[in-house]
Structure 1
Amino acid sequence: MGSWRHQARDGGCCGAWLRALACLLLVGAAGSARAAGGVLVVRSQDLPPYAAVDQAFTQSIGQSVTHLTLGGAKNELARALAERPTLVLALGQEAASRVAALRPAAPVLCALVPFPAKIDGRLLPVPMFASPQRQAQALRQAVPSARRVGLVYVPGNSRALADAYARAAETAGLVPVRHEVAGLKDFAGAVRTLVGRVDALWLVPDPSLINAETFKFLVQTSFESKLPLLAYSQAMVKAGALIAMEAGYADMGKRAGATGRRLLGGDAGATPEHPEAALYVNRRSARLLGVDLPDAVRAQAAQVFE
């Protein structure tokens, strides 16, 4: 047995070692606490729209945020969700589908997802488009003579959205004329049946119906039949639609952030609001349609295409 001096030295070394170990354990615990919890953003791809929503959300949420883009390590998403985030934002269809399949305990917001209810009814979607009320008002202001407006949609995809558009049309003093189709093969025929029955066409966003070819057909039909076309993007107006209200990506992120703060604060019933939207107008289309755009509409427009 060593002397008391050796024991003291050993005890001192042991004490120092234990203190160092305790510090390491504390640091490790703190690191785990930082990893566990927090907010997770999952992007389907590294694309500018996702980046814009992500950036605005991150600035708005007021929490530590982890960012993940799919396509990396196979189990990267599962590992990120295993860290028990308190809130998840899924950007895009693939991200929403893969997050929902793993059934995280945290609330899941999603943005830039066309049909979130078809993925999982528990998802909390940030609307991709301007409010139906604002769109209907824009149509009434741009074409005051319009009374009947046509809506073509696939019930399995867009019934809820078509219902909202119809209610907004009625509130704005318009009469909605609805035409359900089974799919793309019936779309052109449905549009043709509305010619002569409506004063304008209001596009219901549905990727299964609206593509480059069908939009070209819509613009041609619009000009030939003098039917103003209410679309939902700046690009569509540039390509020939009369007007559109386009929702901004940054505002989608802000709406997601505002809802996320409420959810994290204990408001389990919080749902995202429609984002702010900008008005776009095509004066050349107006001339071809015989529509005299009011000065007030042109003044409100973020851009007027000539």
Structure 2
Amino acid sequence: MSPTLRGLPAALLLLLVLATGLFSGDAAAARVLLVTSERSGAHEETLTAIRSALVPGIPTSEIGILEPSQVENGALAGSRIIVTIGTEAAQVVTSQSPRQPVLHTLLPRDAYERLPPATGPGRSSAIFLDQPVQRQIALITEALPDWRRLALLAGPRSQPLATKLAAAAQEQQLTVNIENISSERDIYPALQRLLADRAVLLALPDSTVFNSYTIQNVLLTSYRHRSPLIGFSPAYVRAGALLGLYSTPTQIGDQAAEAVRMVLAGGGLPPPQASRRFEIGINQNVAHSLGIHLEPAAEIAARIIRRETKP
């Protein structure tokens, strides 16, 4: 016994040994291995949703949980499928070049596309955190049919996305203006140009432009120009965005569990995709202040779903 452990009370030592053995056994014997970037917030909600959706079809003893720091040589061996939750977990697991199928969740599409290639075809897939381009444009045309101008403020990482959004918007006869910026100091003058004529400002998942330090100034500027902002999370709606379009951790977790069951039944991973289910958040106070009438979120969502499922 090591000198460090020798001084521990017997009862505490027994608990420590049992806890370590149980944790290692769970991970080693797991058919399904969940690797999560964090044990809090949306990551924990997604993890809980996946486990809840898999049980009781899969015993909890066959579902292992690891954090990135615990992913070492051999830690991934023995599982039938690996599910990562968050970008850090995806990067760490991919660096190990696992041989089994890996499903990445709770990460943006661009983060998935930057991962190294999988070790074989069909061994990697993802459920993206961000929403499909067509769904974002459908939200504008369904919720705000009288608004025909779209403003996009893009940073270095979101310029390709802005181009795709512009193309989809133009197919719906929207006028699109894009401002590309390279740093936070460019945000205000770019917004002044974008919103010289009132437009819907669609937030892009680019930390250069939209982050916890810039969002309040972006919201205030758009509000002063009487231009609504559409965000990509409930937090944006609470902060002052008119609308938000997002998938919840539970929705992503349920879809991930469905893919896991398919693999365990002998099938393959589905192709990389966005969550099929989504939510629309509405800030009625902002709508009232801007003089905008919005239908209930459920009605708007139903029309978007009909668009997506139309043959």
TM over 0.5: yes
Report the CA distance shift for 1:261/1:163 in structure 2 as closer, same or farther (over 3 A).
Answer: farther
Aligned 8 A contact 1:279 1:300 in 2:
no
- Aligned-partner Cα distance in 2 for 1:102–1:179: 39
For 1:171-250, what aligned pairs fall within 5 Å after superposition? 171-197=171-197, 199-250=199-250
Report the CA distance shift for 1:176/1:254 in structure 2 as closer, same or farther (over 3 A).
Answer: farther
Report the CA distance shift for 1:299/1:175 in structure 2 as closer, same or farther (over 3 A).
Answer: same
Report the CA distance shift for 1:185/1:109 in structure 2 as closer, same or farther (over 3 A).
Answer: farther
**What code does the residue aligned with 1:120 have?**
P
Aligned 8 A contact 1:200 1:227 in 2:
yes
The counterpart of 1:70, out of the listed 48, 61, 68, is: 68
For 1:84-123, what aligned pairs fall within 5 Å after superposition? 84-114=78-108, 115-122=111-118
Q: Structure 1 residue 102: deviation in Å?
A: 1.1
The match for 2:277 is 276
What's the secondary structure of 1:285's corresponding residue?
helix
- Aligned-partner Cα distance in 1 for 2:48–2:212: 29
Q: Give deviations 1:91-128, integer Å, cap 9, x for gaps.
A: 12221111111111122222222422223354533111
The match for 1:8 is none
For 1:19-38, what aligned pairs fall within 5 Å after superposition? 35=28, 38=31
Q: Structure 1 residue 257: deviation in Å?
A: 2.2
- Aligned-partner Cα distance in 2 for 1:133–1:297: 21
**What code does the residue aligned with 1:219 have?**
L
The match for 1:4 is none
Deviates more, 1:206-215 or 1:178-187: 178-187
- Aligned-partner Cα distance in 2 for 1:141–1:107: 38
Q: Structure 1 residue 285: deviation in Å?
A: 1.4
- Listed as ranges, the gaps of 5+ residues in structure 2 are 1-24, 119-123, 302-311
Q: Give deviations 1:57-91, integer Å, cap 9, x for gaps.
A: 2344555321112345xxx543321x242321111
Aligned 8 A contact 2:125 2:270 in 1:
no
Q: Structure 1 residue 275: deviation in Å?
A: 4.1
Aligned 8 A contact 1:256 1:272 in 2:
no
The match for 2:143 is 142
Q: Structure 1 residue 35: deviation in Å?
A: 4.1
Q: Give deviations 1:271-302, integer Å, cap 9, x for gaps.
A: 344242222112221233232x13x3366489
Report the CA distance shift for 1:67/1:289 in structure 2 as closer, same or farther (over 3 A).
Answer: same
- Listed as ranges, the gaps of 5+ residues in structure 1 are 1-31
Aligned 8 A contact 2:85 2:107 in 1:
yes
Report the CA distance shift for 1:47/1:37 in structure 2 as closer, same or farther (over 3 A).
Answer: closer
**What code does the residue aligned with 1:116 have?**
Y
- Aligned-partner Cα distance in 2 for 1:36–1:299: 43
The match for 2:46 is 53
**What code does the residue aligned with 1:52 have?**
E
Q: Structure 1 residue 263: deviation in Å?
A: 4.4
Alignment TM-score, normalising by the size of structure 2: 0.73
**What code does the residue aligned with 2:35 have?**
V
Alignment TM-score, normalising by the size of structure 1: 0.74
What is the aligned residue count?
263
Report the CA distance shift for 1:50/1:180 in structure 2 as closer, same or farther (over 3 A).
Answer: same
Q: Structure 1 residue 202: deviation in Å?
A: 0.4
What's the RMSD between the two structures over aligned residues? Answer: 2.9
Q: Give deviations 1:234-289, integer Å, cap 9, x for gaps.
A: 22112111111221101111222223344453435633442422221122212332
- Aligned-partner Cα distance in 2 for 1:78–1:165: 42
Report the CA distance shift for 1:48/1:191 in structure 2 as closer, same or farther (over 3 A).
Answer: same
Report the CA distance shift for 1:106/1:184 in structure 2 as closer, same or farther (over 3 A).
Answer: farther
- Of structures 1 and 2, the larger Rg is shown by 1
Q: Structure 1 residue 180: deviation in Å?
A: 2.4
Aligned 8 A contact 1:152 1:191 in 2:
yes
Q: Structure 1 residue 159: deviation in Å?
A: 4.2
1:151 maps onto 2:149 in alignment: no
Q: Structure 1 residue 172: deviation in Å?
A: 4.0
Aligned 8 A contact 1:127 1:275 in 2:
no
Report the CA distance shift for 1:299/1:255 in structure 2 as closer, same or farther (over 3 A).
Answer: closer
What's the secondary structure of 1:79's corresponding residue?
coil
